[in-house]
């Protein structure tokens, strides 16, 4: 009996979490997007000086795209234009950020605002993701174009 | 043939004929055996995960927010002065937020020549108190478990847990009920693509027993560090390998490694692009109080859109 009650409580708790996500309104989403983008400005000076060791790797964008699909698109959307839970990665604040800053942010995440830390991915994979993100700059004006690396 | 392979082969052959029925009827409570396949069908969308290979040790990476991971983890163990056994736990891990993960476990075991019993449940929560990555990343862990004395999942080894505890017949052992609170301090570091994790465990039986202590640590690394551009099942980056060690540290009245058991276990994980993760870990007892051999397997699948799917079901526009 106690087991059943606990199981029901657990299910109710999961449902409550889901409802809380659903109740986030549009203005809150916009505020969150700005807040998350502002997090990039918190990167330490040494992050700005980091260079992408895979910048010249012709496979890096395609590999980064694969990693994006596996780990990021659930929140950031198939086209990286963001969603309820995560910001648009084509926006100016992201695309104008130094590669080292993006790498720092990927590694650290922003737990309070829903971004997990991705230091569980090896460093080269994080740089591949950075390569992919920077490749979005070329087409951010034309959001309807196919994504690079396909 | 090494003793552990012989023991495993003999036990597996004896059990294999009846295992499917046993699993369906007894290891998994009947409600759960219906619920699990339905969930797998209902939430078919999955994504490749990057699971660490540990079975006992925790690192600082939590489940992604809104994701549900379901895993089934069978264990085979040799037993001196008793019968070898199979145990299993089924785990539901949900990322409530980026800094909070909650897990629910169902435990069961089959002792050869004895019986199959459902041994209880656990509910654990892990919290990351710091918002960013550091050299050492702490995670706070709190668990409530309601299990009986027949539990043999060896999810943690604490106090003076020894092999002889598991030689008691199920009919007797299941009569002992343990409602316990378990607290862990998880410290974990990412260093040059290696993960190094240390867990300090304290456990309290709520029925006026002393605090018991234990430890585990693990080190692991992906075998390939760069992702390939194409999807592939057997690429090096899909594999991670490492080693973990765990054991008891006595209790409040007799702290130390005397009369405790300890294990060393290589671990291997294979993250398949279809969203499944397979894990394998042969474990070896390090002293006379330990089971001589444990073989752990893990099959898990992640459902990244679980929270969103549930919210849709509940009427989100």
Q: Which two tokens stand for residue A66?
A: 């694969």
Q: If you search the block for the tokens 């309601």, which residue do you land on?
A: B146
| Contact status, residue A54 vs residue A128, Cβ threshold 8 Å | yes
Q: State whether A66 and B121 contact (CB < 8 Å).
A: no
Pick B192 or B33 by higher pLDDT.
B192
Phi and psi dihedrals of B212, rounded to 5? -115, 150
Mutation test of the interface with chain A: which of B139, B230, B307, choosing the one with the most A Cβ atoms within 10 A?
B307
Measure CB to CB from residue A17 to each of B96, B131, B305 and give the nearest one: B96
pLDDT value of residue B19: 44
What is the extent of the structural domain holding B164? Answer: 3-313
Q: State whether A119 and B190 contact (CB < 8 Å).
A: yes
Q: Which residues of A touch B67 (CB under 8 A)?
A: 74
pLDDT value of residue A38: 75
- Burial classification of residue A45, based on how many CB atoms lie within 10 Å of its CB (0-12 exposed, 13-18 middle, 19 or more buried): exposed
pLDDT value of residue B273: 86
Q: Which of residues 24-53 of A touch B (CB under 8 A)?
A: none
Q: B297 in helix, strand or coil? A: strand
Q: How far apart are CA B144 and CA B183, in angstroms?
A: 9
Please give the distance of CA A32 from its chain centroid, rounded to a whole number: 13
Q: State whether B222 and A122 contact (CB < 8 Å).
A: yes
Q: How far apart are CA B237 and CA B193, in angstroms?
A: 12
Residue A101 distance to chain B (closest CA, Å): 14
Q: What is the mean pLDDT of residues B13-23?
A: 46
Q: How far apart are CA B66 and CA B47, in angstroms?
A: 13
Closest CA to A39 of A133, A126, A127, A106: A106
Q: Which residues of A touch B230 (CB under 8 A)?
A: 66
Measure CB to CB from residue B128 to each of A54, A111, A120 and give the nearest one: A111
CB pairs under 8 A between A and B: 124
User: What ipTM goes with this model?
Assistant: 0.82
Handedness of CA A84, A111, B58, B205 (dihedral sign): negative
Q: A62 in helix, strand or coil? A: helix
Residue B156 distance to chain A (closest CA, Å): 22
| Mean pLDDT score of chain B | 88
- Tally the C-alpha atoms within 13 A of residue B199's C-alpha that lie toward its C-beta: 33
| Mean pLDDT score of chain A | 81
Domains of chain A: 26-139 (1.10.760.10)
**Which CATH number goes with the domain that contains B244?**
2.40.160.40
Q: CA of B275: which chain A residue's CA is closest? A: A70
Q: Tell me the pLDDT tens digit for each residue of B67-124.
A: 999 999 999 999 999 999 999 999 999 999 999 999 999 999 999 999 999 999 999 9
Q: B226 in helix, strand or coil? A: coil
How many structural domains is chain B composed of?
Answer: 1
């Amino acid at each position: 009996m106690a087991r059943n009650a606990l199981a029901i409580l657990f299910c109710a708790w999961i449902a409550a979490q889901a409802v809380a996500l659903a109740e986030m309104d549009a203005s809150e989403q916009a505020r969150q997007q700005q807040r998350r983008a502002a997090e990039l400005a918190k990167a330490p000076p040494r992050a700005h000086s980091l260079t992408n060791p895979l910048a010249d790797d012709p496979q890096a964008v395609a590999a980064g795209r694969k990693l994006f699909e596996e780990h990021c698109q659930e929140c950031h959307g198939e086209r990286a234009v963001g969603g309820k839970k995560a910001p648009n990665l084509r926006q100016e604040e992201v695309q104008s950020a130094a590669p080292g800053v993006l790498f720092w942010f990927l590694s650290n995440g922003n737990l309070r605002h829903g971004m997990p830390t991705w230091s569980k991915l090896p460093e080269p994979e994080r740089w591949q993701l950075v390569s992919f993100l920077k490749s979005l700059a070329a087409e951010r004006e034309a959001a309807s174009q196919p994504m690079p690396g396909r | 043939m090494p003793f552990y392979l012989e023991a495993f082969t003999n036990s597996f052959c004896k059990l294999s004929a009846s295992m499917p029925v046993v699993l369906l009827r007894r290891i998994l409570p009947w409600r759960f055996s219906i619920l699990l396949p339905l969930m797998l069908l209902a939430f078919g969308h999955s994504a490749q995960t990057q699971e660490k290979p540990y079975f006992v040790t925790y690192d600082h990476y939590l489940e992604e927010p809104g994701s549900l991971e379901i895993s089934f983890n069978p264990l085979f163990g040799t037993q001196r002065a008793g019968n070898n056994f199979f145990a299993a736990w089924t785990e539901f891990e949900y990322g409530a937020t980026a800094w909070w993960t909650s897990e629910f476990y169902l435990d069961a075991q089959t002792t050869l020549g004895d019986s199959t019993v459902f041994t209880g449940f656990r509910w654990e929560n892990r919290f990351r108190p710091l918002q960013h990555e550091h050299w050492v990343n702490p995670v706070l862990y709190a668990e409530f478990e309601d299990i009986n004395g027949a539990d043999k999942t060896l999810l943690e080894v604490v106090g003076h847990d020894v092999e002889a505890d598991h030689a008691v017949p199920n009919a007797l052992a299941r009569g002992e009920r343990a409602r316990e609170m378990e607290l862990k301090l998880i410290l974990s570091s990412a260093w040059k693509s290696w993960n190094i994790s240390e867990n300090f465990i304290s456990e309290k039986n709520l029925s006026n027993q002393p605090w018991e202590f234990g430890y585990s640590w693990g080190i692991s690394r992906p075998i390939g560090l760069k992702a390939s551009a194409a999807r592939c099942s057997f690429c090096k980056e899909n594999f991670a390998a490492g080693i973990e060690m765990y054991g008891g540290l006595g209790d409040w009245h007799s702290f130390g490694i005397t009369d405790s058991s300890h294990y060393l276990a290589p671990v291997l994980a294979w993250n398949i692009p279809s969203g499944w993760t397979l894990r394998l870990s042969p474990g070896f007892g390090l002293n006379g109080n330990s089971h001589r051999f444990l073989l752990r397997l893990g099959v898990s699948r992640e459902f990244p859109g679980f929270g969103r799917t549930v919210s849709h079901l509940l009427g989100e526009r």
